[in-house]
Structure 1
């Protein structure tokens, strides 16, 4: 039993990852990472979530839910920043935990993040498709149900727009991270301008009475969930936290960062700060324009509020920019996901050809597999219930990374270089990041935990049936033992 546990906790030498990832081209700057982070975090949810959460759980105090979720995300982001500065390896949490706690725990953390990337990719592709078709309908252009919906959903066979969009982004990334980052930078500027336009126009339509009572009295909704009081704010935090998790996708590309010791912390923390300011501002304006209850069951509260405030043209422009802006989330998730799949192949945890680079030193085998799976989920499968997996899996990875700061500190300046950035108020802040992530995980509904359990069961089967026997770390250990 002790040998078995020792095998599970074999730790990779960080110098091995430095060598393996040295062929990836370091082209990404702080500006690129800020764009990647903001583009992934400030996705469609900024135009929908503030209204939805206000109507379902919080009323005007939705602002507190955004701030509390941001504080927890910020605590974890500090840990991510130190990890990425100290160990700028492809695969982020998977590679870091492999070095800190051992191969098995690294696999669990990586498998958790893989759920985020696969499903988020499919979700954004599907959401972009729905919004794009919505823009075309006033022009009299309608897609037949067979190519507009996922398989078995309202006569659907394949969501053709989702297929084309995911394939197009994969083609863009296959030409190099630098080129994809340039496109990302332009689209993010457009998206931020659209958000700022809503805030400025919306401020002219504020009715102060809509802010009272700021924290409505607590009651139970018909579905048994909380509304009002601190209970409603807590329920809102669990829903909102999902919007902030995009910052972790930046870290997966740290092996392609210029001067990662400075670039990674600035990109991670800076993009989260920008996103929080935008989310809170949109939420404050939205609940001030109309009574929060008006946003109940409203799929596009920002557009609805602008139209009803007498700004239909601004609403249409913002919706169009929002559709274009969804490409930013696809680029961010696809870059991160492909680097994670590459790192699994690099270490032999999945077939080794996934860890091969092409003649331009790009992990395009991993990108191809990620794209195919994303297309299959996004185009053919009804997957609304899988949304829960994103937050559940990512929160588990967040807990690992927060705890990983403690063994990292003991090794900095020894076998791991002393990073340019360190988590402040050590050892308190990493513990708070872990506790905050655990509390939010606890607040997820039972379905989220059930689906996470199923996903991890599949991951365990793959690890014990394949990864454990094919990993380069395990083979090296067995060779040394048999000498």
Structure 2
């Protein structure tokens, strides 16, 4: 077989149906809505609007959020159709494996793996910082050696981050239905905190803080500020907030009636998230001049205290810390299902794709957990953060283009889904181009680090995956059979 035919060999979707059929289907629409909102509306809703406004956009941060939402929405439509047609574990990795072939599936999956490993470590670190900050007024403070990553400001290990990531893994290892119940409760609490901030903040809004709505463009140490250049720079920063809907799709093999559950969960959670992000942005800018959010790690608390609501600020920040668990749960579930898919297909060692006695992919879960703990402990986040949005945007481009290949097979070897991306064939192309534009807006380091990550992935694929994958084994078996039959005929 030629090299091109080898890397483009496509998996039969019936194989994934059989392999993933052992996973327990227990998740409903409300579970996926909570999972999506919990992952998308994470730490960033309390920090990012103020940060982007101060660095790039001024009051027009709302426009950046809207544009990022439109780009995410285009891709979400593609995700919804893919998840309804092919409700397999591993989301983009498994889909691209079916419609474009093994190598391209690996590239898309490898891109997403960077997101889950690093984002899990990030959120754990952010939860730790906010949790410890709550106790500082009481005089309780951990030593630097137990508060920071190894080699950072005298740190040895961020013990709170390690503990919370392991606690979340223990919860998920007991079953997704149990994790979903905890997720649902925490999401309700988080949305309550956001709504409380919005309602209280509305009483302190000053119209003058919105003027000028789009400041004049100029260059700063942080890059473009003001004008459409600043808004574009803001979009590239903000887009990272919306990528959590992939965590829903990764769990589609555990959905009840995925034909309806997946589109409603993916699109519904994104709509809720967009409304909450824009509302928080408007209130933040209205309460205080955007310049005051520069270098603030807690703009929501800053705004509430400036409006003389310090008690509300404490309540909101306490719930925000608890709410960070929702993002950890969502990313742990999705990342472990992706690693399970790699093992299921032989792209990584097969034992990663084995289920326990209760049909749960806990080997993959603990691999993800250990990896995230080590990344958080030993690698500088300034280096790793660039990989998250770059890798995910590459996967989004694959999924957008994958709709064209999917349509040719729907109703044949792939079932006709109940949801289809509207305005076909225009919207898939727009989703691809919009993701490409956001990717081009990332800084040089983001593209460089993404390139390094993909070179590492290529080495793994050509050194291991291409020879050990399920499809490679199948071909070897077929070749042996053909040779045996030829010998018998002679």
What is the TM-score of this pair, normalised by structure 1?
0.99
| Partner Cα distance (2:379, 2:414) in 1 | 44
| Partner Cα distance (2:2, 2:385) in 1 | 38
Paired residue total: 481
Q: Which of 435, 438, 442 is 2:436 aligned to?
A: 438
Name the structure 2 match of 1:118.
117
Matched, 1:370 2:372: no
RMSD: 0.8
Name the structure 1 match of 2:485.
none
286-295 or 108-117, larger mean C-alpha shift: 286-295
| Partner Cα distance (1:150, 1:249) in 2 | 26
| Partner Cα distance (1:29, 1:425) in 2 | 28
| Partner Cα distance (1:383, 1:294) in 2 | 25
| Partner Cα distance (1:275, 1:476) in 2 | 44
| Partner Cα distance (2:173, 2:215) in 1 | 50
Name the structure 2 match of 1:241.
239
| Partner Cα distance (1:122, 1:266) in 2 | 29
Name the structure 2 match of 1:62.
61
The DSSP-based 3-state class of the residue aligned with 1:411 is coil
| Partner Cα distance (2:353, 2:287) in 1 | 51
Name the structure 2 match of 1:143.
142
Name the structure 1 match of 2:105.
106
Shift of 1:379: 2.9
The DSSP-based 3-state class of the residue aligned with 2:380 is coil
Q: Deviations over 1:196-236 (max 9, x none)?
A: 0000000000000111111111111134x111111110000
| Partner Cα distance (1:301, 1:110) in 2 | 35
| Partner Cα distance (2:411, 2:90) in 1 | 22
Name the structure 1 match of 2:487.
none
The DSSP-based 3-state class of the residue aligned with 2:123 is helix
The answer to whether the 8 A contact 1:202-1:289 is kept is yes
Which runs of structure 2 are paired with 1:6-17 in the superposition (5 Å)? 6-17=5-16
Shift of 1:411: 0.3
The answer to whether the 8 A contact 1:86-1:261 is kept is yes
Q: Deviations over 1:24-70 (max 9, x none)?
A: 00000000000000000000100110001111111110000000000
Matched, 1:227 2:225: yes
| Partner Cα distance (2:217, 2:47) in 1 | 23
Shift of 1:366: 0.4
The DSSP-based 3-state class of the residue aligned with 1:245 is helix
Unaligned runs of 5+ in 2: 483-490
Name the structure 2 match of 1:52.
51
Name the structure 2 match of 1:164.
163
| Partner Cα distance (2:100, 2:356) in 1 | 31
Unaligned runs of 5+ in 1: none
Q: Which of 315, 320, 323 is 2:318 aligned to?
A: 320
Q: Deviations over 1:245-292 (max 9, x none)?
A: 001110000000000000000000000000000000000111011111
Name the structure 1 match of 2:74.
75
The answer to whether the 8 A contact 1:355-1:366 is kept is yes
Q: Deviations over 1:165-212 (max 9, x none)?
A: 000000000000100000000000000000000000000000001111
Q: Which of 412, 417, 421 is 1:419 aligned to?
A: 417
Shift of 1:478: 2.6
Q: Deviations over 1:401-430 (max 9, x none)?
A: 000000100100000000010000000011
The DSSP-based 3-state class of the residue aligned with 1:193 is helix
| Partner Cα distance (2:304, 2:26) in 1 | 40
Matched, 1:453 2:459: no
Which runs of structure 2 are paired with 1:5-404 in the superposition (5 Å)? 5-223=4-222, 225-404=223-402
What is the TM-score of this pair, normalised by structure 2?
0.97
The answer to whether the 8 A contact 1:81-1:421 is kept is yes
The DSSP-based 3-state class of the residue aligned with 1:246 is helix
| Partner Cα distance (2:221, 2:452) in 1 | 29
Q: Deviations over 1:113-140 (max 9, x none)?
A: 0000000000000000000000011111
Shift of 1:383: 2.2
Shift of 1:474: 1.1
